[in-house]
Structures are given as C-alpha cells and as structure tokens.
Amino acid sequence: MKIIVLKFGGTSIGSIQRIKKVSKIIKSYSKKYRVIVLSSAMSGTTNKLINMSQKISKNFPDSEYDTLVSAGEQISCSLLAGQLLSNGIKSRSWMGWQIPILTEGSHKYSRIININKTKILRFLKSGGIPIIAGFQGINKDSNITTIGRGGSDSSAIMVAKFLKAERCVIYTDVEGVYTTDPKKLNSAKKIKKISYEEMLEMASLGSKVMQPHSIQDARLNRINIEVKSSFVRKNGTLITKRTNIINNKIITGISSTDNDAKVTLLGVKDRPGIAASIFKPLSKNSINVDMVVQNISSNGKETDLTFTIKSFDLNKTMKIIKRNKNINFKKMIFDKNVSKVSIIGVGMITTPGVTFRMFQALAKNNINIQVISTSEIKISVLINSTKVTKAIKSLHKEFNLEK
C-alpha cells in the first residue's frame, strides 16, 4: 500500500471532541493507505508555554525554549494515539528524538536535514499508524530543536519526502486557499489548484494558510499538498507544479498585509554603497526590508530613499538609523497607516497590460499608490490602510476572480 501523510493543525485537535473527530478522518484513510500522522500542539498551548517562559525571564535561553514549547506536541500526539487505540486501531506517538528527526541551524529556527525512516517503516508494516510530533527534531548534539512557528507543516512535508509518500494533506480550520481573504471580501472563491510559486507569493504577502518556508520545502521536493478543513467534508486546494494546472485566469489571487510601516530618508548624501550602509545594520538586527524606492535629485548629489518594514520593527529601525554614523540625511519621516496589496498569478508572465489594469482599477476608486514592487508573477503596491478593502474589491472584480 502507498503512504499518505496527514497533518492536523492546532485548531483541528483543539479539544477532546475534535480529537475524536480527527481519529475518524484518520481511520477513513487507513483503508487505502499506510497512514502517517503529523500533529501540532492543541490550539493555544504553545502561546501559553511561551508566556510562561517570559514570566521566568525576558532572556529565556533558546535551547530551553525549544525543550519547553516542544512539550505541546507531545501532549496532542499522546491524546491522538490514545484515541486511536481506544477505537481498536494500532497506534503510538513519536517525538522527534525517538525517530530521530535530525536538524541543523540555531535553536527556534532549525531546519530538517534528515529523517531516519527505519522505525517508522517497521511500524507501518506491522499495521500501525504513527503519530509524529511536528515542529521539532534534534541536532547533532542530541538536543531538542524546533523549526519555527508553523513548523508542523514543514515537518509533514519533509516526512512525506523521506518516506516517499504519495500525498500530503494539511488539515486546518479553513476549506482551502481562497482568491483573497474571505473575511475581507465575501465573494472570495476557493481555488481548486494553485502552483507552488503562486502559493509561495501569497503566503509571503499575507495569506496565513501556510508558512512560506513550508511551501518552499514542498516546491523543492515536488511534494503535492492538499489543504482542506477538518470541520467540513469538502474538497480543498491542491498546491502543485505549474504543469499540473490548466487555468485560464491571468491572476490567481490577491493578498494584503496589515502590519507594514513606511520609512523615508530625505536628503541622503548620495555615494556608492550608501544603500548598503543603510540596510546592513537593519539586516544584522533581523529587520526585514521589503519594498524600496530611491529618487535621485536633479544635481545627483542627494537622494530620497523610501522602504517598508513590519510595523513592530519601526522603533528599532529608527533607533538604528539615528545611531548610524555612516550615513547623512536631512530628515526621517515614517507612516504606520500603510498596507501592501498584491496581485499574484503565473498568467501575467505571458499577458501584457496587467500592470495598467491594476493601476487603472485603483485609480478609478481614488486609491493612491505610494510604492510599487514587482516580480515575474506578482505586482505589489503600498496604499493607505483605510483603502485596503476597497482595493481588494476593485481588483477582484477587474480580474474576474468572482467567477
């Protein structure tokens, strides 16, 4: 029999009643597949553990953080395995160190590099259903590690890779991936199939269905992912390679953010390497710079530089720039009332006029564009936060995503 990997998010196993429902979903797959289950912690558990660590110390050690928060998955895996056993299904829970799942990198942000499949394959062949803790592994020193928030998705994808699973199904609290956030637009439609590249752009630009690094892992390893709800019995969204998709739409989806800030440095003394001098200290302090626009003055001696960051990094960013002795500028201004709206679609690669249509649709609704950035399959604009819903609605209609 072929192997299938099922991953259940925190909301899917957030209560005993939900765990019982999930056990029935697992059982339904066991008739056709050898089933491997990846489990997140029960919803709210990880946050509670993090809050406890912060009450101990604001500088709680990263190594102990990993040991602490990994306990959440241990609880949910045990409960889920226990539920299957009570239903007469052979099962047991597995922590990352028991398999083992090997990782590299720093604590809190490790990456899976290898999974010893011997014990899991043996258990599968004996008719068992392993319940594996997502989000965790061990490093070369046998210390527990975690792979970042949302890491259970990556765990499932890597298990699917090393165990050569036919499918990987991510169960969550939404029915799939939508053309835009249904909470912001009622007419948003569920997407049946989406490419890795489009999903990666949507995830990095504000869609919260999956973490970007999980999509990247799936793309690199060519693992097909189905995202579906554990609460309703409906088909979800398949994330796959472009060649598996027949789509006559130019744009696949629209994403937006609600936590951006814009920083502008006026009258920067222009010289070679000035941009690097500005952004290097930000990078060293783990501040992600997104959209960048530079305007050179007519005399070529000064420049105005605008860039965007996450709003929670604004105070830190301003302090770093003010302390930076390698740059000279006349004034720094900022704006926290901005949001990024993006259209994504592989169809724009071969279709002219997409940029014009986007800008025209926004102009018709009196929406001013402050900053623009593009890639092969994405166009992003920075606008006033109060205009986001209006922008999404106009673009959704312009590119016929309601049909």
Q: What's the pLDDT score for residue 115?
A: 97
Q: What is the mean pLDDT of residues 341-368?
A: 94
The fraction of the chain above a pLDDT of 90, given in percent, is 76
Residues facing 306 on adjacent strands: 264, 293
What are 5-26's pLDDT values in tens digits?
999 999 999 999 999 999 999 9
Q: What's the pLDDT score for residue 298?
A: 65
What are 97-123's pLDDT values in tens digits?
999 999 999 999 999 999 999 999 999
Q: What's the pLDDT score for residue 296?
A: 75
Q: CATH topology for 3-173? A: Carbamate kinase (3.40.1160)
Q: What's the pLDDT score for residue 130?
A: 98
Cis, bond preceding 100 (omega within 30 deg of 0): yes
Q: What's the pLDDT score for residue 270?
A: 81
Q: Is the Cβ–Cβ distance between 305 and 275 less than 8 Å?
A: yes
Indicate the length of the chain as a whole number: 403
| Res. 139: pLDDT tops 90 | yes
| Res. 299: pLDDT tops 80 | no
CA angle 322, 328, 332 (to 5 degrees): 50
Q: For all residues of the chain together, what is the average pLDDT?
A: 92
Q: Is the Cβ–Cβ distance between 339 and 385 less than 8 Å?
A: yes
Q: What's the pLDDT score for residue 368?
A: 96
Q: What's the pLDDT score for residue 277?
A: 92
Residues facing 190 on adjacent strands: 178
Q: Is the Cβ–Cβ distance between 89 and 27 less than 8 Å?
A: yes
Fill in the DSSP letter of residue 270. Answer: -
Residue with the bigger pLDDT between 52 and 205: it is 52
Residues near 268 by Cβ (< 8 Å), separated by ≥ 6? 274, 278, 302, 303, 304, 305, 327, 328, 329
Of the candidates 298, 310, 362, the one whose C-alpha atom is nearest the C-alpha of residue 334 is 310
| Res. 207: pLDDT tops 80 | no
| Res. 208: pLDDT tops 80 | no
Q: What's the pLDDT score for residue 206?
A: 63
What is the model's pTM? 0.84
What are 28-60's pLDDT values in tens digits?
999 899 999 999 999 999 999 999 999 999 899
Distance CA 19, CA 25 (A): 10
Tell me the longest C-alpha to C-alpha distance in the chain. 80
What are 220-271's pLDDT values in tens digits?
888 999 999 999 989 999 999 887 777 778 999 999 988 899 999 999 988 8
Tokens (6 digits) for 46: 């990880």
Q: What's the pLDDT score for residue 173?
A: 87
Handedness of CA 380, 382, 388, 394 (dihedral sign): negative
Task: Break the chain into its structural domains and give their ranges.
Answer: 3-173
Query: 3-state class of 287 per DSSP?
Result: coil
